[in-house]
Structure 1
Amino acid sequence: MTGTAEDTAEGVAEGAGAGVLVLAGTPIGSLADAPPRLAEELASADVVAAEDTRRLRRLAQGLDVAVRGRVVSYFEGNEAARTPELADELAGGARVLLVTDAGMPSVSDPGYRLVVAAVARGVRVTAVPGPSAVLTALALSGLPVDRFCFEGFLPRKAGERAARLREVAEERRTLVFFEAPHRLAATLSAMAQALGDERPAAVCRELTKTYEEVRRGPLAELARWAEPGVRGEITVVVGGAERAAPVTDAAELARRVAAREEAGQRRKEAIAEVAREAEVPKRAVFDAVVAAKPRG
């Protein structure tokens, strides 16, 4: 008998006899960036679910590999309907390889539904790590990389887009977005309006391809640059909001607490909130409130 107790427990937890779902990263530009395991998985999978079957064929041809398994399309339009079918295949013991047009499946691409369905069935889910436009753009941007958040594509409608940008306006982590080239100028203008003209940013286009370009500068400047039109796959990286200076004025602290109390908040809660937002001890806010009380 082989395998450890840990291996056995893992097999039971993930469903003995079930198949495997493999999420495979594909090149975001240069075919030379394809991970070595990608060719192996393409050749050995029982089912290959591809966002675009034509691109899959070109990818396999470029890697000089024959896809022997059944090929099915799996894209935004049929993702919900095809997921149960693929989940059944996985539960029956198939090895299903999921590839999207570029980058990692389920990251602003089809895949999340299938991962959830596989996990619910006790199917093992693994990955072939590959190129990522998010991390590549972040690394090239020249902006802080220690903490960041990925926002994907912003809403297409101007009002919804502005609302989303207002939500992240005070986010201190570096922000990463995807955007379509024909919407880039409008998006950068909306970002400048919501986040500030001088907020530093970088527009990364055609990463790892022949015409790769990284344009860095304030949002307003980048918006003007993009007005004539920009081509290619776009990733936008935006610096986080700067930390606000702590509020030390006692009268201002007391005013903020009073405003919250007038809105119906209890004083204790109002003091705690103001202390957190102003980045000062609660005792300082409490003292400010006491000092602001009318005497006599």
Structure 2
Amino acid sequence: MSQNSTGNLTEYYVKDDNISNKQEKYTYESLLLTAQYLLERISVKPQVGIICGSGMGAYWHEGCLADALDNRQEFPYETIPHFPVSTVDGHVGKLIFGNLSDVPVVCMQGRFHYYEGYPLWKCAMPVRVMKLIGVTHLIASNAAGGLNSDYKVGDIMIVRDHINMMGFAGNNPLQGPNDERFGPRFPPMNKAYNSHLIDQGKELAQKLGIQDCVHEGVYTCLGGPNFETVAELRMLKMLGADAVGMSTVHEVITARHCDMDVFAFSLITNICVIDYECHNKPNHEEVMDVGKMRQDVLKLFVKKLVEYISQK
């Protein structure tokens, strides 16, 4: 890593292979450099971090959540020291700071996935950067397939809990030596999702008149990038999963490890195929289409939730 000082600002240039499992794990000190880079350039410190998944603005389109921010400051991922670069076709790949309903926030417009070739600790590193720049609450969104027979395309599932399938296989973002400055060696996950925020989310659904399409359920994350087989989905349903996707869980684990309050929700973009006689095929295009269809209500939902967090 080399440094180039210009005036009072210090720019850090990092030469590394962005998609390399061999790279050493981020240290507390290296992430402090990333946080310092951002803090020197932003006008306000964010209270809330928002991860915009495929259903809520990871792909830029007019009217997405990032468009609603006032006093926006944008940082493409490739310009931020140590940051990975999103390789998913269409993901914007920006960290955007600004005010949402007068509350300082930072939005990840596009996230990182295990199937892109990144280790889970690298997929989740932006969460630790958020913590170091002052974020206390994380709102994570994702697009997911609906396993629960009561769910319809376009519904919203507030995540009550998750099943960490990759963790069962020994793959966890907290693997390796633990730095107590981030959090404890063995963090509990029985309260991974903040119950007060879940209650507030359900109350907001009532106030917005969308309670009939808002559910509370269990999310599970698989590695991807292929969609699941019929047998796999039947197994997950038997285990109690209501929705399945390819993100979020490792971000939540990392956020709870560093003592951030978490709220997460899934936009149900397709109904999982659990019948061999069904000829429907899940595809990525429908994910984007449903996200655009629901963007206005999701944007309002998140704005109201951010307002609630700021008043706590």
TM-score of the alignment, normalized to the shorter chain, above 0.5: no
TM-score by length of 1: 0.31
More strand by share: 2
Q: Which has the higher contact order (CA 8 A, sep 6+)?
A: 2
User: Based on CA coordinates, which of the two structures has the bigger radius of gyration?
Assistant: 1
Q: TM-score, normalised by structure 2?
A: 0.30
